[in-house]
Structure 1
Amino acid sequence: MNINGFDSHRVAGAGVTLNVAVGGSGTPVVLLHGFPQTHLMWRHVATDLAADHTVICPDLRGYGASDKPSDGYSKREMAADIVEVARNLGHTKFALAGHDRGALVAFRAGLDHPDVITHLMCLDVLPTLDMWDVMHGTSAAVGFHLYLMAQPPGLPEELITASADTFFDHFLTSWAKESNAIPAEVRAAYLDACRAAVPSIVADYRASATIDVTHDAEDRAAGNTLRMPLTVIQQDWGAALGFDAAALWRAWSSDLHHQTTTAGHFMAEESPAEITTAIRSLLKR
């Protein structure tokens, strides 16, 4: 499956080749998907933005139809993929929006490539360092998958592979507030893609419990922050779990617009007009 009206390309990243959907014309906007999805999660937002932007929707390294190497899943390496893909498509600067795992890649791209990323949007995440800090007590049960996939290679891959459809469908069902947001054919495409990518998906999550924490901590110690305009939209996890999400994000950005949404986790599919409007507003800053 592909986004309606978009062309599929195989484009070199930083040592891997990514599957990339490209549509529209105008200033470039790159959209990065989350878990357990592929670039298809942007199908509504992307077609709207393509009216006046070149919209680039990759499958992240290890996901969808992109290459799935055995290692290289630090967000630094995954961000380098995106910068290289955009460059190979002719764009040395671009706006970047990411959801979930893609938002962590986008966050790292903003820190590592401030002269490339003109505007940044992160949907329904906290930066990795902050995410681990706020997970504690029984409230951490909501993130059980984070702890499972942080384990050394072997056990999580075996357990998830044994019940892959049940595992991944759990998130597609429980994280959505709108039950019809993900049509059956799209859900099937997500499950097919995840079933074929268990080791790389686990490697992506394992990196977030190891090297990604190190990279965030190094930036915090050095006082590095995001220089471009930043919009963050997330569910009100702060109220639910007892932390100030906006304050955590303000530590990383002096040009922050933070808002909560009543949509579920899959907000680009559940409330695409809200997300599209927010992207267009960000691009005016």
Structure 2
Amino acid sequence: MFDGFSSHDVPVAGGTVHARAAGDGPPVLLLHGFPQTHAMWHAVAPVLAREFTVVAADLRGYGRSRTDDEDFTFRAMAAGQLELMRALGHDRFHVVGHDRGARTAHRMAFDAPGAVLSVALLDILPTLEVWRSMDAWLVQRYHHWAFLAQGGGLPQTLIGHDPGFYVRWTLQGISGTSVPFHPEALAAYEEAARDPAVVDAWCRDYRAAAGPDLEIDRADEEARLDLPALVLWGSLGTVGAREDPLELWRRHFPRVTGRALEAGHFLAEERPEEVCAALLAHLRPAAGRAGRHG
């Protein structure tokens, strides 16, 4: 799926980050979500690589990234990705994230504003807003937020009984549609889920989101960044069903633009052509402005 992309396993604080890279031009970091790997960008990365240097990475503990660190806050995830990009020679770059990767991109923008040239956030609302609106309607759609955050090895044990089933059931449940996942991508997600260390990373990620991540985000709740930002969401999914994503994200990124696509949660795999068009329209001028200002 990533013909022509080089493979990298880069040492970072607390482990290694696995990534694929290709292209020439302004650097763009692609970050995936749960329960996926960098394979989710298989239809998007090659298109962007025609004009940009594209790095598609696995998050901390996900996919083929490895960690011996117990810190799974989005701050720690973002720090590892920053180390990856610097190791590959990119001190300043654009970030595109989906799901957990978008939450990592959000945190990275605030923790390292000098490194992040622009952000694109796919199908998420701010983490604080999700928890604030967690009612009977939302918990039916985001049940995994509470399930994976349970301690004592409960989710790890239950998922370990049949990891492939859990991945397939979760992908369809979160999507809100019948997504035709690429067979190789789906195989990559199932392969990752069969690794107990990956499942443990999922759980630690969601446990952090229910704990320390909330305090970190509250500290920045009133902060604003004058940064080019794109927000895309699926009109058939959950994110825009009750609130306007642009209104919520404008509180953090005043220059945000974006729109809904006719899709569920997994935009890059359901509507790759539309996602590519929207990302290129966002990245080209953002890259031009960055070039003019150094």
Report the TM-score when normalising by structure 1: 0.93
Deviation at 1:129, TM superposition (A): 0.8
Aligned to 2:44: 45
Aligned to 2:121: 122
Q: List aligned pairs for 1:93-242, cutoff 5 A.
A: 93-174=92-173, 175=175, 177=177, 179-180=179-180, 182-196=181-195, 197-220=198-221, 223-236=222-235, 237=238, 240=241, 242=242
Query: CA distance change for structure 1 residues 239 and 7 in 2, over 3 Å: closer, same or farther?
Result: closer
Deviation at 1:83, TM superposition (A): 0.8
Q: Deviations over 1:33-72 (max 9, x none)?
A: 1111111111111101111211001111111111033511
Where 1:96 maps in the other structure, the secondary structure is: strand
For structure 1, the 5+ residue unaligned runs are none
Deviation at 1:95, TM superposition (A): 0.3
Aligned to 2:282: 282
Distance 2:68 2:194 in 1: 16
Aligned to 1:250: 250
Distance 1:62 1:88 in 2: 19
User: Does the 8 Å CA contact 2:125/2:239 hold for their aligned counterparts?
Assistant: no
Query: CA distance change for structure 1 residues 49 and 238 in 2, over 3 Å: closer, same or farther?
Result: closer
1:265 counterpart letter in structure 2 = H
User: Does the 8 Å CA contact 2:14/2:68 hold for their aligned counterparts?
Assistant: no
User: Does the 8 Å CA contact 1:120/1:231 hold for their aligned counterparts?
Assistant: yes
Deviation at 1:225, TM superposition (A): 2.1
Aligned to 1:269: 269
Asked whether 1:260 is paired with 2:257, we answer: no
Deviation at 1:131, TM superposition (A): 1.1
Aligned to 2:291: none
Identity of aligned residues (%): 38
1:56 counterpart letter in structure 2 = V
Report the TM-score when normalising by structure 2: 0.90
Distance 1:117 1:273 in 2: 25
